[in-house]
Amino acid sequence: MLWKHSKIMVLLAILMTLSLLVVGCGGDAPEEAPADEPENGVEEAVDEGPEGGEVTIGTKNFTESILLAHIFSVLIEENTNMTANVQELGGTMVAFEALRNNDIQLYPEYTGTGYINMLEETEILTAEETYEIVQQEFQERWNLEWMQPLGFNNTYTLALRQSMIDDLGLETFSDLLDHDQDLTFGGTTEFVERQDGLPGLVDAYNFEFGNVVDLDPGLLYTAVQSEDVDVVSAFATDGRIPAYNLGILEDDLSFFPPYFAAPLIRSDVLEQYPQLEVLNELNNMIDDETMAELNFRVDEMGETEDAVARDFLSSVGLI
């Protein structure tokens, strides 16, 4: 009996030793962090707005529009978690319909174009009044939002060879009335057809040009420089005007409305991706002279739109 009792005691001692070993081995494992508490007590960064996201920025078919779209794209990608693609389109109505159809989500537009072309207004107002009207009407009619203006006014003007301006003593649009029948006018197809272009200009000034030629936007200035045409529609911020020894005339009847550039965006997209408000950082960051210089770098110096966009944004501290 004593032997059996001793044997039982030995077995119990062995079992107790093994259980202590198992508990000891388990004590080396790290405790699992509770589900609602991050490991090491460090909170993960939370993005402002939906994760990722992608937008397509449309452009019209001329340098300034393409360049502005690249400025928007670079600014968005460098300051948000989004991807922003640039898609070159055609004229104004092509870009506008693409925006309304959500084929693109935003594009650079001009207040004067929105006021005259889309809203079909005719009364020339101040820059502030024009912006307020397009901002309100576009929101009510199409749920589109005009973001803050970029700062420059790229209104239309008329450009001629500086030598012709000097020879004829021209200063204003009205001065052309003594010579218009002997002159050939050149303009883009869009300008020649739009009511805020040549048709309205002819009505306002009673011009009777000897001939009218449709030109590709990239050929306007070479055509007038080479004397294929005499007068061309031009953008006030086009850096090629001085580069091609051209001059511009004063719109003495104030026919052309203010054309301040701004991002035009779908309101539902801006609501879904509030980080796109970063585009408002461009408010009043580009004056007429700066825009003309940026255009010149692309058109005449051969720099890419993306490179010029990045350099500009870096120079003003936005990337």
- CATH number of the structural domain spanning residue 127: 3.40.190.10
Task: Note the pLDDT of residue 228.
Answer: 96
With respect to residue 60, please indicate whether it lies within any of the assigned structural domains.
yes
Same domain, 144 and 292: yes
Among 125, 84, 94, smallest CA distance to 256 is for: 125
Helix %, strand %, coil % for the chain, to 5?
50, 15, 35
Same domain, 126 and 242: no
Dihedral sign for Cα 11, 14, 16, 18, please.
negative
With respect to residue 222, please indicate whether it lies within any of the assigned structural domains.
yes
Same domain, 113 and 161: no
Same domain, 179 and 311: no
Average pLDDT (172-199) is: 93
- Dig out the tokens for 121 from the structure: 């207004």
- DSSP label at 194? S
DSSP H helices, the chain, are 2-26, 63-79, 92-100, 111-113, 127-142, 162-168, 189-193, 198-205, 220-225, 240-243, 267-272, 288-299, 305-315
Same domain, 59 and 146: yes
Q: Would you give the distance in Å from CA 93 to the centre of its chain? A: 16
Task: Note the pLDDT of residue 252.
Answer: 94
Last residue of a domain, one of 217, 248, 279: 248
Same domain, 149 and 167: no
Last residue of a domain, one of 227, 248, 269: 248
* Model confidence at 20: pLDDT above 70: no
Confidence of residue 9 (pLDDT cuts 50, 70, 90): very low
* Model confidence at 34: pLDDT above 70: no
Cα→Cα distances 317→78, 101, 285, 288, Å: 12, 34, 11, 19
Q: Collapsing DSSP states into helix, strand and coil, what is residue 213?
A: strand
Total domains in the chain come to 2
Same domain, 147 and 191: no
Between 20-29, 250-259, 267-276, the lowest mean confidence (pLDDT) is in 20-29
Last residue of a domain, one of 201, 220, 248: 248
With respect to residue 20, please indicate whether it lies within any of the assigned structural domains.
no
Cα→Cα distances 266→52, 83, 99, 279, Å: 18, 17, 7, 13
Same domain, 84 and 127: yes
Same domain, 232 and 306: no
Task: Note the pLDDT of residue 49.
Answer: 52
Confidence of residue 278 (pLDDT cuts 50, 70, 90): very high
With respect to residue 34, please indicate whether it lies within any of the assigned structural domains.
no
Same domain, 196 and 311: no
Confirm if 99 and 266 have CB atoms less than 8 A apart. Answer: yes
Q: What percent of the chain has pLDDT over 70?
A: 84
Report pLDDT digits (tens) over 190-235: 899 987 799 999 999 999 999 999 998 889 999 999 999 999 999 8
- DSSP label at 103? S
Same domain, 182 and 264: no
Count Cβ atoms within 10 A of the Cβ of residue 225 and give its class: 0-12 exposed, 13-18 middle, 19 or more buried: middle
Structural domain that includes position 216 = 156-248
Mean pLDDT for the chain overall: 86
Report pLDDT digits (tens) over 121-165: 988 899 999 999 999 999 999 999 999 999 999 998 999 999 999
Among 282, 312, 318, smallest CA distance to 295 is for: 312
Task: Note the pLDDT of residue 14.
Answer: 44
CATH (domain of 172): 3.40.190.120
